[in-house]
Amino acid sequence: MKTIDELGDLTGKRVLVRSDLNVPLDGPTITDDGRVRASVPTIERLARAGAKVLVMAHLGRPKGVPDPAFSLRPVAERLGELLGQPVLFANDTVGAEAQRISAAMGDGEVAVLENVRFNPGETSKDDAERGAFADQLAALADVFVSDGFGVVHRKQASVYDIATRLPAAVGGLVQAEVAVLERLTATPDRPYAVVLGGSKVSDKLGVIDNLLEKADTLLIGGGMVFTFLAAQGHRVGTSLLESDQIDVARGYIERAAEKGVELVLPTDVVVAPRFEADAPATTVAVDAIPDDQMGLDIGPDSAAAFAERIRGARTVFWNGPMGVFEMPAFAAGTKTVAQALTEVDGLSVVGGGDSAAAVRQLGFTDDQFGHISTGGGASLEYLEGATLPGLAVLDGADA
């Protein structure tokens, strides 16, 4: 993939940057600006090189029509604070305002275009409709830089089609993400531990399948663990259970044994009678989950066992919380795992999404980990061995 260094002199060039600014909002307030902060180095570098930087991104799922609840205006304001310079904001993506700003910008200025998903062509499955929107985007700029790692697994106009219409390069964020993922898949220092959580086994099938060939230890928590426990013959009460995946989970347990991969499941869980923050929490062994209770976190013995294996590894990849970390009574397992990742003598990778949100909510800072990915879904698909369209198009490969 061509890098920014290979684009030559960018002074006076209009550079269209695809960033990932899909941040959580509470009204107009950004509750986690991690993705905005991650986008700053590439934008800053281009501005300092004298480029006219037009930033495009999405926020939420506005269904192809403008929706004030998903406006990028608060994000543009936060980006300006982080850059320490004014950031222009176009109230449309490719309309009159975007065209005016693109034409009038000075060297080193930065502008944010309104949410690309306000335009139906962005996410269209129809190549012609998507291409027509990409043509409108391309008309605003001279060069394209792909720096939104969280969307490179999407075949969308601002990610894929635009790269076929302008000279294109990869930004520093995507470069760094790919370098880390290459280490995880091709050259991990060993022992290599993978920690998977989150709600569903079905969300992680591909990554489990692929990492059973690569990891030394696979630790499983979160809601998905109850399908594995059911596969071992345990009753799981009212816990989240994917009955159609029990045989699949049983197959993974058997494969891990055959491959010599240590597959670690919890021995105790924290249960409650209902999914509520104030529900009375109890710790029970996994073979003693009451029929009228649901598991909402891994238990303290399990968390300690997970932490021991994490600290003993040289490479750790973690995706998915161990429990309902948003509720204090069910956050201890996730916090113990996060703490252990900060103590790894080697590479510790937090795989984006809910895991990244969890470590910040629980009081950890980004620099306590080797790498916090900005793209949960993209990270998982890369680790599955899938072709990511937004990377393939920059490689000149068929997506």
Intrachain domains 4-175 and 188-384 with the same fold:
yes
Helices (H) and strands (E) in the chain, counts: 13, 17
Residue from 165, 200, 255, 311 carrying the catalytic annotation? 200
60 annotated as ligand-binding: yes
pLDDT at 279 exceeding the cut of 80: yes
Gyration radius (Cα) of the chain, Å = 22
Give the separation between CA 162 and CA 128, rounded to whole angstroms. Answer: 13
Residue from 18, 35, 78, 360 carrying the catalytic annotation? 35
pLDDT at 8 exceeding the cut of 50: yes
Work out the average pLDDT over 281-301.
98
Share of the chain above pLDDT 90, in %: 88
21 annotated as ligand-binding: yes
319 annotated as ligand-binding: no
22 annotated as ligand-binding: yes
pLDDT at 398 exceeding the cut of 70: no
Respond yes or no: is residue 353 known to be catalytic: yes
pLDDT at 148 exceeding the cut of 50: yes
pLDDT at 301 exceeding the cut of 90: yes
pLDDT, the chain, mean: 95
How many Cβ atoms sit within 10 Å of the Cβ of residue 276?
A: 12
61 annotated as ligand-binding: yes
Residue from 197, 353, 375, 376 carrying the catalytic annotation? 353
Work out the average pLDDT over 61-88.
97
b/e map 352-365, b = 16+ CB within 10 Å: bbbbbbbbbbbebe
The CATH number of 4-175 is: 3.40.50.1260
Classify the phi-psi angles of 108: left when phi > 0, otherwise alpha if psi is within -120 to 50, otherwise beta. Answer: left
Domain locations along the chain: 4-175, 188-384
351 annotated as ligand-binding: no
Work out the average pLDDT over 26-42.
93
Question: What pLDDT was estimated at residue 352?
Answer: 75
Question: What pLDDT was estimated at residue 377?
Answer: 87
The CATH architecture that domain 188-384 belongs to is 3-Layer(aba) Sandwich (3.40)
Q: Where are the alpha helices (DSSP H) in 64-171?
A: 73-83, 96-104, 127-138
State pTM to two decimals: 0.89
339: exposed, middle or buried (C-beta count within 10 Å: 0-12, 13-18, 19+)? middle
Q: Could you tell me the pLDDT band of residue 200, with boundaries at 50, 70 and 90?
A: confident
153 annotated as ligand-binding: no
Question: What pLDDT was estimated at residue 203?
Answer: 86
pLDDT at 323 exceeding the cut of 90: yes
Contact between 369 and 180 under an 8 Å Cβ cutoff? The reply is no
Share of the chain above pLDDT 70, in %: 99
Question: H or E segment at 172?
Answer: helix 172-185
pLDDT at 399 exceeding the cut of 50: no
234 annotated as ligand-binding: no
Respond yes or no: is residue 200 known to be catalytic: yes
Work out the average pLDDT over 52-72.
96
Question: What pLDDT was estimated at residue 375?
Answer: 86
Tens of pLDDT along 335-385?
A: 999 999 999 999 999 987 788 889 999 999 999 999 999 888 899 899 988
Question: What pLDDT was estimated at residue 201?
Answer: 87
Is omega for the bond preceding 24 within 30 degrees of 0, making it cis? no
Contact between 27 and 159 under an 8 Å Cβ cutoff? The reply is no
Work out the average pLDDT over 220-228.
96
360 annotated as ligand-binding: no
Contact between 70 and 125 under an 8 Å Cβ cutoff? The reply is no
Q: Could you tell me the pLDDT band of residue 397, with boundaries at 50, 70 and 90?
A: low
Query: Nearest CA to 48 among 15, 6, 93?
Result: 15
